[in-house]
Structure 1
Amino acid sequence: MAKKNQHVVPRGDNWAVKGAGNEKATKIVGTQKEAIKIAREIAINQQSEVVIHRPNGTIRDKDSYGNDPHPPKDTKH
C-alpha cells in the first residue's frame, strides 16, 4: 500500500479525512477532533503524515508517523 499523507480538511459544516491526491474523502465526520483521530490511526498504519487544516483551508499543524529524517523537537504529544 502506498504511503499517502492524510489530510484533515473542512467539508461544509463537517470535517473530512482525505488521502493526498484522492478525489473522494476516506471519511466525513462532525468534528475536527474526530477527523484527526481517524487520520492519525491511518497515518500510523501507513507510516505517513497527518496534515491538519484550519476551517479556512490553511495548514494548522503536521504530525509525522513514519520514518521522519528530521523529527520534530517539540513535545506536544
Structure 2
Amino acid sequence: MSSKGKHVVPSGGKWSIREAGSSRASRTFTTEDEAVEAAKKIARIEGATLYIHGKDGLIRNRRSYANDLLPAKK
C-alpha cells in the first residue's frame, strides 16, 4: 500500500494535517502536539511519510512509516 505523505502545518494560529498535494486540511487542532500525534497514527496506518513543519512553514522533521504498516484485522 502506497500513500501520499502527511504534513503537519501551521494554520492561522492552529495546526492542520494535510495530505501531500492538497491545499485543504483534513483535520485541524489547537496545538501542534495534538496534530502531530493524530498525524502519526494516520501515517502509521497508511504506511505514509510524515512531514512536520515549523511555524515558519519549513519542514523540520520527517519520519517514514512505510515499513510500519499495521496488519489487517482478521
TM-score range normalised by the length of the shorter chain: 0.7 to 0.9
Give the alignment of 1:1-77 within 5 angstroms.
Answer: 3-67=3-67
User: Once the two structures are aligned, what percentage of the paired residues are identical?
Assistant: 37
Q: Which structure 1 residue ranges, 5 or more long, are not aligned?
A: 68-77
- Alpha-carbon distance between aligned partners in 2 of 1:33 and 1:20, rounded to the nearest angstrom: 20
CA apart distance, 1:4:
1.1
CA apart distance, 1:23:
2.2
* Matched length: 67
Question: Is the CA contact 2:2–2:48 (under 8 Å) kept in the aligned structure 1?
Answer: no
- Alpha-carbon distance between aligned partners in 2 of 1:2 and 1:31, rounded to the nearest angstrom: 28
Q: Which string of whole-angstrom CA distances, capped at 9 and with x for unpartnered residues, describes residues 25-65 of structure 1?
A: 01000111100011111101110111000001011100110
- Alpha-carbon distance between aligned partners in 2 of 1:26 and 1:2, rounded to the nearest angstrom: 18
Q: Which structure 2 residue ranges, 5 or more long, are not aligned?
A: 68-74
Provide the aligned C-alpha RMSD in A.
Answer: 1.3
SS class of match (2:24) = coil
The verdict on how the C-alpha distance between 1:23 and 1:2 changes in structure 2, with shifts beyond 3 A counting, is: farther
Question: Is the CA contact 2:2–2:47 (under 8 Å) kept in the aligned structure 1?
Answer: no
| 4+ runs deviating over 3 angstroms | none
- Which letter does structure 1 place at the counterpart of 2:66? G
